[in-house]
Amino acid sequence: MIVEDDASLARGMEATLTAGGFAVDRFACGEDAIDMAGTEPYSVIVLDLGLPDMDGLDVVQQMRNRRISTPILILTARDQVDDRIQGLDRGADDYLPKPFDPRELEARMRALVRRGQGTPNPILTCGSLTFDPASRTAFLDEEAIDLRRRELAVLEALMRRQGRVVAKERLCAEIFNFNDAVAPNAVEVYVGRLRRKLMPDGPAIRTVRGLGYMMHIA
- 165 and 188 fall within a common domain: yes
Nearest-angstrom CA–CA distance, 188 and 46: 30
Nearest-angstrom CA–CA distance, 52 and 172: 31
- 112 and 129 fall within a common domain: no
pLDDT (tens digit, 9 = 90+) per residue, 68-123?
999 999 998 766 788 788 888 999 999 998 889 999 999 999 999 888 777 777 89
Q: What is the CA radius of gyration of the chain?
A: 18
State the pTM of this model. Answer: 0.77
- 18 and 74 fall within a common domain: yes
Q: Is the pLDDT of residue 1 over 70?
A: yes
- 133 and 104 fall within a common domain: no
- Which of 37-46, 111-120, 122-131 is the least confident region? 111-120
Note down the domain range covering 151: 124-216
- 92 and 144 fall within a common domain: no
Run of H or E residues at 188: helix 186-198
- 27 and 61 fall within a common domain: yes
Query: Of 58, 93, 117, which marks where a domain is finished?
Result: 117
pLDDT (tens digit, 9 = 90+) per residue, 180-215?
777 778 999 999 999 999 998 899 999 999 899 999
- 164 and 97 fall within a common domain: no
The pLDDT value recorded for residue 218 is 64
The pLDDT value recorded for residue 117 is 73
If pLDDT is split at 50, 70 and 90, which confidence band does 134 have? confident
Indicate which CATH number applies to the domain containing 165.
1.10.10.10
Partners of 2 in the β-ladder: 26, 46
Q: Is the pLDDT of residue 64 over 70?
A: yes
Cβ atoms of 75 and 47 within 8 Å: the answer is: yes
- 183 and 151 fall within a common domain: yes
Query: Of 86, 117, 148, which marks where a domain is finished?
Result: 117
Query: Of 117, 149, 182, which marks where a domain is finished?
Result: 117
Tell me the helix, strand and coil percentages in the chain, rounded to 5: 40, 20, 40
pLDDT (tens digit, 9 = 90+) per residue, 138-154?
999 999 999 999 999 99
- 8 and 40 fall within a common domain: yes
Q: In terms of DSSP bridges, do strands 166-167 and 212-216 run parallel, antiparallel, or are they unpaired?
A: antiparallel
| Torsion angles phi and psi, residue 11, rounded to 5 | -65, -40
The pLDDT value recorded for residue 116 is 77
The pLDDT value recorded for residue 83 is 79
- 104 and 10 fall within a common domain: yes
- 134 and 110 fall within a common domain: no
Could you give the number of structural domains in the chain? 2
3-class DSSP state for residue 130? Answer: strand
- 80 and 165 fall within a common domain: no
If pLDDT is split at 50, 70 and 90, which confidence band does 217 have? confident
Nearest-angstrom CA–CA distance, 88 and 68: 15
Partners of 135 in the β-ladder: none
Indicate which CATH number applies to the domain containing 86.
3.40.50.2300
Q: Is 37 exposed, middle or buried (0-12, 13-18, 19+ CB in 10 A)?
A: buried
